[in-house]
Amino acid sequence: GINAEYGVATMERVLQRIQQNDPSLTVADLKLTDLRDQGSKNLAKALEQNTCLTSLLLGSCNVGDSEIKVLCEVLINNKHITSIELPFNSITNEGGKTLLELVEKNRKIIDLQLSGNSVDESIETKIFKAIKANRERGEKPILETR
């Protein structure tokens, strides 16, 4: 298996590959890296031009509501990422509402994990309803009428 190293060097290497749009990198595993403040801004910047990533693994990354806002501004227009894992971060209802807006506007997102955060069940329920709608929409062929 792949031996995953954690830390700043790994984060910088992953961000570089995201920014270079490395076609062999479809899953960005940044679990346990510190994405507070500048970290999330660097990730958002790297994601701007990327068309190869399909999954973001951001568990235990010190991601709070302000980081979610920064990331969602880029993710809202991303048509390739379908799965975002955010377990065990510092996301509250404010970030939950930002994520709800993301999954309602970006219909490509069909998987979002939020366990271990401080988001009310009422908001989580709305997020999962939107995710479910995205999944169902994705399964139906879109008929073009001209």
Query: Is the Cα torsion angle 77, 78, 82, 86 positive or negative in sign?
Result: negative
The order of strands in the sheet holding 83-85 is: 27-29, 55-57, 83-85, 111-113
Answering whether pTM is above 0.95, one says: no
Token pair, residue 34, equals 């510190």
Tell me the average confidence (pLDDT) per consecutive run of 10 residues in the chain, 146 residues long: 55 94 96 94 96 97 98 97 98 98 97 97 98 89 59
